[in-house]
Amino acid sequence: MAKDLVEFRNLETHFQTTAGTVKAVDNVSFIIREGETLCVVGESGCGKSVTAMSLMQLIESPPGKIVGGEILFEGEDLLKLSKREMSRIRGNQISMIFQEPMSSLNPVLTIGNQISEPLMLHMLLDRKAAKKRAIELINLVGISRPEKIFDSYPHELSGGMRQRIMIAIALSCDPKLLIADEPTTALDVTIQAQILDLMRDIKQKLNTSILLITHDLGVVAEMADYVVVMYAGKVIEEAPVLELFQDPQHPYTKGLLKAKPIINQKQERLYSIPGQVPNPIDLEDNCHFHDRCEFCMDICKVKQPPFRSHGKDTHKSACWLYEEEREVL
């Protein structure tokens, strides 16, 4: 098995609001291995992006703050690094692409300028060498006429091209980990497929690990080696991708899979999980999914289920259905 690249250990990221504390990331632990694509899945507001932003340490503070846990990157705790040390890792060994390619590039700077920036900063290239490398990168992400694109401004490019440019920027310093926060959500379907293909290609060529954040199970099936499912700030299930699709354990995961439309299968109505995501402020110590769960038991309402494997080592979930202890209580 490949080496661990990143390990989240009991990460806690909280946001202070006037209404109370939001535990956006609540005791989250998982591991990203070298050369692996890990997908984090969940509804909007479940803490996927905050987990990634915590890793980059780009949480707006205030109101956000990482209050506990560790994030180990090649064995070193990123949370203990100084600002300067962290900015040497950011964009260099860990880089990130975002959901909105339309607004993620600076409108008043040329594409070339924006790609060259990390090259000159982290790789210490001079302007000329940076330009050469930038043109190579633009080529690598599959854009023709890279010299012309180098001198263009973001508004002259389409959404798909801008996302390719974002990927080029992210790849500029050969990162060990690429974080992609819903990279295809804002793009239309054909472009989505192209961008995903590109990311897969790059992963194979450069052996980069990818942390892919998405709510699209289609993307998960296509890209992931390993899947982490989050709900209301907690990891509720993790498993290798095939296992998760074949044998989901947590009722929430089951619901998600059921809610996915399947081609060639006529359905009267698409399944949807009843109810709504709970209010994230001051959540109680119970299973946060209990009021939407069809298997809800008494214990679910008062106590949080432990997160552990039930059978196979690699497949973990947090649900009382698989616990013996419930009989005792």
Partner 1 sequence: MKQYIIRRLLQMIPTLIGISIIIFAISAMVPGDYITARANPNMSIEKQEQLRSIYGLDKPDYQRYFIWAGNMVKGNFGDSMQHKQPVTTVINTYVWNSFIIGIFALFFSWFIAMITGIFSAKFQYSFFDKIVTLLVFICMSLPSFFIGLLLIKFFALDMKLFPVGGMITSGLNARGWEYFIDVLKHSFLPIMVLTMLSTGSLTRYFRTSMLEVIRQDYIRTARAKGLKERTVIFKHAFRNAMIPAITLLGFELPGLFGGAMILEQIFVWPGVGHIYLNSINMRDYPFMLGFTIFLAMLTLLGNLLADVLYGIADPRIRLK
Would you tell me which residues interact with partner 1 (CB under 8 A)?
56, 58, 62, 87-92, 95-96, 98, 100, 103-109, 117-118, 121-122, 153, 155, 166, 169
Which residue lies nearer to partner 1 by CB, 74 or 222?
Answer: 74
- Residue 23 or 122 with smaller CB distance to partner 1: 122
Rounded CA gap, 143 and 94, in Å? 23
Rounded CA separation 15/67 (Å): 10
d(CA 23, CA 14): 5
Shortest spacing between CB 44 and partner 1, in angstroms: 17
Q: Which one, 58 or 281, has the nearer CB to partner 1?
A: 58
Of 118 and 248, which CB lies nearer to partner 1 in the complex structure? 118
For residues 29 and 92, which CB has a smaller minimum distance to partner 1 in the complex? 92
* Rounded distance between C-alpha atoms, residue 118 and residue 169, angstroms: 8
Gap between the Cα atoms of 321 and 329, Å rounded: 13
User: By three-state DSSP, how is residue 138 classified?
Assistant: helix
Residue 172 CB, nearest distance to partner 1 (Å)?
Answer: 9
Tokens of residue 156, six digits = 């002259």
- Taking phi over 0 as left and psi of -120 to 50 as alpha, with beta for the rest, 232 belongs to left
Give residues with Cβ within 8 angstroms of 301, minimum separation 6. Answer: 286, 287, 290
C-alpha to C-alpha distance for 299 and 43, rounded to whole angstroms:
24
Burial of 244 (0-12, 13-18, 19+ CB in 10 A): buried
- The distance of closest approach from Cβ of residue 1 to partner 1 in the complex, given in angstroms and rounded to an integer, is 30
- Minimum CB distance to partner 1, residue 105 (Å): 6
CB of 191 to partner 1, least distance (A): 18
Between the alpha carbon of residue 212 and those of residues 204, 270, 298, the distances in Å are: 15, 26, 35
Closer residue to partner 1 in complex, CB, 52/198: 52
Residue 114 vs 192, nearer CB to partner 1: 114
> Is the separation of the CB atoms in 295 and 251 below 8 Å?
yes
CA dist list (Å): 5 to 75, 181, 233, 250? 8, 18, 22, 27
What minimum distance in Å lies between the beta carbon of 103 and partner 1? 4
Least distance CB 10 / partner 1 (angstroms): 25
Distance of CA 152 to the CA centre of its chain: 30
Q: Which is nearer to partner 1, 133 or 288 (CB)?
A: 133
Minimum distance of partner 1 from residue 42's CB (angstroms): 21
